[in-house]
Amino acid sequence: MTDDQPDTAPTCPLEANAVPIHGSGPNVDRHALWEQLRSRFGQVAPVRLSSDLAVWLVLGYEENLEVMRDWSTYSRDTRLWKDIREGRRQLNGELRPTMSYRASALYADGAEHARLIAPINDALARLSETRIHDDIVETSDLLIDAFCAAGRADLIGDYAALLPALLMNRFFGLADTYGYALSHLSKTMWNPDPALASDAATQMGNYFLGLVQRKKAEPGADLTSWMIEHETGMTDSELVDQLILLSGAGHEPTTNLLGNVLWTLLVDSEVAREYSSGGVLLEEIINHVVWTEPPVQALAGRFPTRDVTLAHTRIGAGEPLVMGFAAAHADPRLAGASDSHAAGSSLPAGHNSAHLIWGAGEHRCPARSLAMQIVSVGVNRLLDRIHNLQLGVPPAELRWREEIFMRALAELPVTFTPVAAPERSRFPVALTPSTAASDDTADEPSDLLSRVLRWWRARASS
Ligand code: HEM
């Protein structure tokens, strides 16, 4: 732009050049899309996520790392977004969660980030390995019990979508019945209908406020109580925002990674054969999926604190950047990323660069090992108990979710040899939303949490 040009929207390079990538459909070839953008624009491309939302998509591996590591230049604070500062948008629940704002660690930089992330890190560190492992096995078993006799299931709706939500709910210190409401709320917060998403965000706030009040009265050995008693001394409202962050960040990506690993084992017969013969470890398969089909293809956002040049692209202060993990993993400058194979294996051997799926810099995921355990124990438990697992539809008929920044199945229908659910003294009733809806109302305390549960029960039964 020259000095004598007016600074209006049509001359803004981001607005003027943004390539629409919304509405491409679930079956769009994402690999081809990232490469087309890279060959046209280089390592940073202007793209349109909806008719009124243009962002810079970072495609290069090194550039993604640079953006995530340099928080003083690339802030996570959505309030610095140019559109917000200039009054063209509101930071409300109608924006996708990662572009919205809460007073949580995710949207803070520097010292404020350190203050807010400390209770999360310290609470997560207090979950013992044994407890994590036992809770994953028990929760997986509970879910498998509910469908194992039927000989068919949807491994997304019946398993992958519920496992992380029920587990997080346990770690928060609540009974499993509440986990179904939590799962429903987390999912609805991502609903493209802004009214539904906004309603779910409000209910989520109520859910966690009820939880904080309950745990203040009756502390336990759980994440909520440990965060309440942390030396940082957060207010109730700050506690609610950190709990919403933990719940939101922990659910969707873990579901999608678990789903994509199960899908790979079902559709890639070579990978499945190598896994069952012991030729390749499950961790290697997860690593392969993360490199080639990352469940989070791209993640918003960062906001430059000043005008910057990134990979020869001029980016104005406050113009939104989105990290392109999938594009970065396919960056041609990462020699050998996709063409070298371990001896005798169909899986790429990998290379010296780490994948970006956990992020980098101060906001890197604090729960990497927990997430990996949920996925690996969740897969192992399912394969130990369910035999002759087959896809229930031809691979081409599988429904993928529309969101371009996610690689996520809507459903994963399977068939298998039916097996009776064992008698379990701890789980006499196989919990499903319908049985949960009539569960334990007798001793329900009349707090906010219960009101949210009743709201969810009404939705589940409608
Ligand atoms: C496969 C599963 C997961 C993936 C791929 C994933 C990925 C990520 C990524 C990329 C970030 C960085 C966000 C950014 O830079 O803006 C992040 C942050 C975060 N994740 Fe995870 N995550 C996963 C599971 C979990 C789980 C299970 C939890 C909770 C128990 C969790 C809690 C968080 C939190 C609290 C943050 C914010 C950290 C901060 O802002 O400092 N994540 N995660």
pLDDT tens digit string along 296-346? 999 988 999 999 999 999 999 999 999 999 999 999 998 754 444 444 455
| pLDDT > 70? residue 17 | yes
Closest listed residue to residue 324, CA positions, set 17, 24, 31: 31
Burial 395-426 (b: 16+ CB within 10 A, else e): eeebebbbbbbbbbbebbbbebeeeebeeeee
Evaluate whether residue 112 is within a structural domain. Answer: yes
* pLDDT bracket for residue 2 (50, 70, 90): very low
Evaluate whether residue 73 is within a structural domain. Answer: yes
Q: 290 lies in which domain range?
A: 9-461
78-134 pLDDT, tens digit per residue, is 999 999 999 988 876 555 667 788 899 999 999 999 999 999 999 999 999 999 999
Q: Which atom of ligand 1 is nearest to the CA of 302?
A: 16
Nearest CA to ligand 1 atom 29: 250
The pLDDT of 171-199, averaged and rounded, is 82
Evaluate whether residue 2 is within a structural domain. Answer: no
Could you give the count of Cα atoms lying within 13 Å of 238 in the half-sphere of its Cβ? 17
CA distances from residue 156 to 265, 305, 348 in whole angstroms, order as listed: 14, 40, 26
Evaluate whether residue 100 is within a structural domain. Answer: yes
The pLDDT of 438-442, averaged and rounded, is 44
Evaluate whether residue 4 is within a structural domain. Answer: no
The radius of gyration of the chain's CA atoms, rounded to the nearest angstrom, is 23
Residues of the chain by 3-state class (helix, strand, coil), percent to 5: 50, 10, 40
* pLDDT bracket for residue 422 (50, 70, 90): confident
C-alpha 357 to ligand 1 mean position (Å):
9
The residue ranking higher by pLDDT, 283 or 184, is: 283
Nearest CA to ligand 1 atom 4: 253
- Across 60-74, 198-212, 346-360, the highest mean pLDDT is recorded for 60-74
The pLDDT of 164-173, averaged and rounded, is 95
Q: Distance (Å, rounded) from C-alpha 33 to C-alpha 38?
A: 9
The confidence score (pLDDT) of residue 26 equals 73
| pLDDT > 90? residue 162 | yes
Q: Give the pocket of ligand 1 (CB within 6 Å).
A: 68, 76, 105-106, 117, 120, 245-246, 249-250, 253-254, 257, 296, 299, 357-359, 363-367, 370-371
What six digits make up the tokens of 62? 């090194």
What six digits make up the tokens of 209? 């406020």
Q: Return the minimum-mean-pLDDT range out of 17-26, 127-136, 161-170.
A: 17-26
* pLDDT bracket for residue 11 (50, 70, 90): low
Count of domains observed in the chain: 1
Evaluate whether residue 193 is within a structural domain. Answer: yes
C-alpha 296 to ligand 1 mean position (Å):
11
Phi and psi at residue 119, to the nearest 5°: -65, -30
Q: Which atom of ligand 1 is nearest to the CA of 300?
A: 16
* pLDDT bracket for residue 13 (50, 70, 90): confident
The confidence score (pLDDT) of residue 302 equals 96
* CATH number, domain containing residue 190: 1.10.630.10
The pLDDT of 142-154, averaged and rounded, is 95
Evaluate whether residue 192 is within a structural domain. Answer: yes
Evaluate whether residue 130 is within a structural domain. Answer: yes
Beta-bridge partner residues of 300: 322
